[in-house]
Structure 1
């Protein structure tokens, strides 16, 4: 069974609008037809069909020839046509990938994006884990088991993953370098969830279920990523000081402003 609607959708992806796609499909079905014949089949005015035939010729989808002073149309070789389309799309994609990243850089920091549900947060968390090349810093009390696939991939890729938490978590089997400091935040309940992530000083994610609603912020702002990373590193440092000098060290530290 021919999937006409899917054909139209994919022709659209190649740059043809609905009428262009319809005219092109009729040319494939009826090679050697003229514009009037195609217009009669589609129920469009002849001027509309001829305009679209002209566009299709310029785009390289069809060609025309004269037979007894009547202009007839046929599709170009489909295999060659689609192969050329593939090359054009690949070329355009590679060009834009290189050139668009140059626009508006000039030291301007990237924007911040709201995450409005736990589903959004999970998807963005998976996204930045896949982006990791060197190191990931995480501060969370979320259950990370559902991200086991991503962590195993990082483990195989020799990406260092540092987890700090105020809850008793153990994910060493997934390759996470884990630091637990449960004494500092003993009042934290199971319903109060949060996560902070910094990846390669390039990506940052901060989220929680404040007032029973999960929300957060994602950014590729390097300043925020470094702030999150330093925050987690400082938590680990304080934990090590506490282990070395005793838990009362928190009471002896005073700040003068």
Structure 2
């Protein structure tokens, strides 16, 4: 009985409401007085629960002068609860989307947690129609099916990674320095641009949790796109001229260079 009460509580029934409904199911139609005697509860608490259950449609009142209550069929009750929940959830989702879009149009949306970031990445890839640019060392299994579907829709996919990612049998444009994942640290960064309109940037934070930023901001879209393109350009130049393009004659000795050890295996 306690297990059933706990489950009903998760469906927004109080403990007393749960006991009253289950008592009617077990013993059949009863008055409030009879229910109170069976459960050992005060008349006021029983009648309060009966009023709420009646309003919820969980019980019915039989015709006649005496107030005799009958439980609604459990299958019908649960189906009704599911329908109400789904309708409310769908309406809430639409309302929240309107708020979210307004906030995003005004700036940026911050995302925390790898699961949430991967979910946003998947959402972006699925809605792409023209081109996808990506720089990442994330596990390919997290998004390769979404990319394959995008390519089937006619979307061009251009990916750069310092890691040796495996996009076997997926006809995309992949550029890589071929560094083994274990040498550069897997799942540490993501830069994603969709249709030159949306951008998602994410990485591991100081506390080892993942943090990211999504935006429609045109400048951030442009800067991220340029970064991905320049990584590919530099790799192609190195392949063409067969030498290290980063030497002491061109570095600026900035904090960024020192942080990233600016050589042919930097990142």
Q: 1:156 to 1:64 in 2, by over 3 A?
A: same
Q: 1:221 to 1:43 in 2, by over 3 A?
A: farther
Corresponding residue to 2:120 among 90, 104, 128: 128
Corresponding residue to 1:178 among 152, 174, 180: 174
Determine helix, strand or coil for the equivalent of 2:183. coil
2:53 is the counterpart of 1:56:
yes
2:62 is the counterpart of 1:65:
yes
Alignment coverage as a number of residue pairs: 236
Q: Give per-residue Cα distances to partners, 1:168-219, cap 9 Å, x unaligned.
A: 444343445311246xxx9x98164432232535462422487xx6343123
* Correspondence list, 1:198-213, <5 A: 198=192, 200=194, 201-202=197-198, 204-208=200-204
Shift of residue 13, structure 1, vs aligned partner:
4.5
Determine helix, strand or coil for the equivalent of 1:44. coil
Determine helix, strand or coil for the equivalent of 2:41. coil
Decide whether the 8 Å contact of 1:32 with 1:73 is kept in 2: yes
* Correspondence list, 1:133-144, <5 A: 133=126, 134=128, 136-141=132-137, 144=139
2:8 is the counterpart of 1:5:
no
- Alpha-carbon distance in 2 for matches of 1:88, 1:169: 46
Decide whether the 8 Å contact of 2:21 with 2:59 is kept in 1: yes
Alpha-carbon RMSD across the aligned residues, in angstroms, is 3.6
Shift of residue 249, structure 1, vs aligned partner:
5.0
Shift of residue 153, structure 1, vs aligned partner:
4.5
Shift of residue 254, structure 1, vs aligned partner:
7.9
Shift of residue 57, structure 1, vs aligned partner:
0.7
**Counterpart residue number, 2:39:** 42
Q: 1:46 to 1:157 in 2, by over 3 A?
A: same
TM-score by length of 2: 0.69
Q: 1:42 to 1:166 in 2, by over 3 A?
A: same
**Counterpart residue number, 1:152:** 145
Q: 1:128 to 1:161 in 2, by over 3 A?
A: farther
- Alpha-carbon distance in 1 for matches of 2:215, 2:149: 27
**Counterpart residue number, 1:238:** 234
Q: 1:139 to 1:56 in 2, by over 3 A?
A: same
Q: 1:166 to 1:154 in 2, by over 3 A?
A: closer
